Amino acid sequence: MGPIGVFDSGVGGLTVAKGIKDLLPDEQVLYFGDTAHLPYGDKSRDSIVGYLINIFKFMHEMNCKLVVIACNSASSVYDLDKSIIPVYNMPVIDVISPVVRKTVDEFRSGTIGVIGTRRTIESAIYKLSISDLNPGLIVKELATPLLAPMIEDGFIHNKIAKAVIDDYLSQLGKVDSLILGCTHYPLIRQEIEAYYDHKTPLIDAPKIIAAEVKKYINTNNLRQKSDPGPDQFYVSDFTKTFEETAKQFFGSEIRLNELKLNE
């Protein structure tokens, strides 16, 4: 059995990869951070399609048995362009569909807030998907484009992060629950919770996606039956911040490999 492939534009997807590893410690995770092109949230649809084509080809060459798109911007594009993106018969789990289903299961009425990148919010995929399943839910969406690059640069848990987060959330207004529509955002979860005085439930992807992956692996008899070896980490452009964040999640023994897929 091959590894579980997980990819994102940067460090955000590490939150999903760690969630998967916590639930499935005997599985090997292969992570690719497309740091040369981050953030995906301000890229065109055609550019993201090109990135996805290269990444899925790489995941196939690495014999991944399952691929997780740990990026909301990429997931929104993939959901709309599946017919032109070859996945080589690999099963694919995106970060949007499971979160939408979980939200609709847990909330029957009220206002659901969504914050995410421009690409994710402009696609309106959360609003459309939630409304299709429960038209009674009100969905308020807000693009928060400064958050992902701020997190990539290590501006978290400080006054700068708090000021940016507070300004964005004040624009969103009152909500009954908030979807963190970017896998970077769990890294600033405590600041977001503090803004709402810990009274507004937050919905983020890592645990939800990890549970989805575990269910798929078990249902389709894809569990690793022998020692898979160490997890693997690749980036398209090496950054010290990425290395430091990856080590915080997975330990100091990880080795970061630089790989430029389009060359």
64 is catalytic: no
Inter-CA distances, 44 with 11, 51, 83, 116, Å: 20, 11, 18, 16
Q: CB neighbours of 91 closer than 8 A, spacing ≥ 6?
A: 65, 66, 67, 216, 220
The whole-angstrom distance between residue 113's C-alpha and the CA centroid of its chain comes to 17
Query: Which of the following is catalytic: 14, 71, 210, 235?
Result: 71
Instruction: List strands edge to edge, sheet with 138-143.
Output: 138-143, 111-116, 177-181, 202-203
Measured at the CA of 141, the angle between CA 5 and CA 201, to 5 degrees, comes to 75
CA distance 114 to 127: 9
Inter-CA distances, 245 with 153, 162, 217, 250, 261, Å: 11, 20, 27, 9, 22
Rg (CA), the chain: 18
71 is catalytic: yes
- Kindly report the length of the chain: 263
Q: Are residues 3 and 62 in contact, defined by beta-carbon separation less than 8 angstroms?
A: yes
Query: Which of the following is catalytic: 121, 125, 156, 182?
Result: 182
Please identify every residue annotated as catalytic.
71, 182
